[in-house]
Amino acid sequence: MSAIQKNQRQASTATQPSNAQPQTYSQKGIIISGFPCIGKSYLCKNKYEGRPVFDLDSSGYAKTEKGQQEYLNDVKKHAAIPRAIVLVSTHETFRKQMASSKLQYIRVYPSRDLKQEWLGRQEKRAGSKDGLWKFMNSNWDMMAEIDKGFSGETSKKCVLKKGEYLGHVIPKLVGK
């Protein structure tokens, strides 16, 4: 999140009265809970059929309860835009927040057997074996648990095959 976006959010929060009710949004776009290295940033830069695409990286939000609520509110706001594609975190706690808020989302992640391909993607993206590479290497099985979902998770899912990126499956995800 840019400094301008943070300042705008702080300014809008500061002007709301303390008894203000949270704004409600009707979901008109699709939300994709996307695994690292699936091509979220690429899709955001290159768009898809003129649709607005928003990559809401969770790292731009505080890890506090308030920060996570701001993240959820931003997802709701962007998902209310007709035809929008909103790209979000795969963290289980955040998916639970979306589910409890009745947001519909699609989990997009690689097949469990593609660990080496995903490590290669991350190394190429970062230019080295960075922190995310090391985390994925050590925690691949735990990260791959996204395929099972959490108890009661009913979201749709899309498993990427060898060589596939989000751009290959987006037509199916948006209903084309």
Query: Residue 99 burial (CB < 10 Å; 0-12/13-18/19+)?
Result: middle
Q: Can you give the residue ranges of every domain in the chain?
A: 27-110+154-173
Cα 159 from Cα 165, distance rounded (Å):
10
Give residue-wise pLDDT tens across range 13-38.
Answer: 333 334 455 677 899 999 999 999 99
CB atoms within 10 A of CB 85: 26
CA nearest neighbour of 147 among 110, 118, 113, 121 = 110
pTM of the predicted protein model: 0.84
Q: By the 8 A CB rule, do 94 and 88 touch?
A: yes
Q: By the 8 A CB rule, do 43 and 166 touch?
A: yes
CA nearest neighbour of 28 among 106, 89, 104 = 104
For the chain, state the CA radius of gyration: 17
Give residue-wise pLDDT tens across range 106-136.
Answer: 999 999 999 999 999 999 999 899 999 999 9
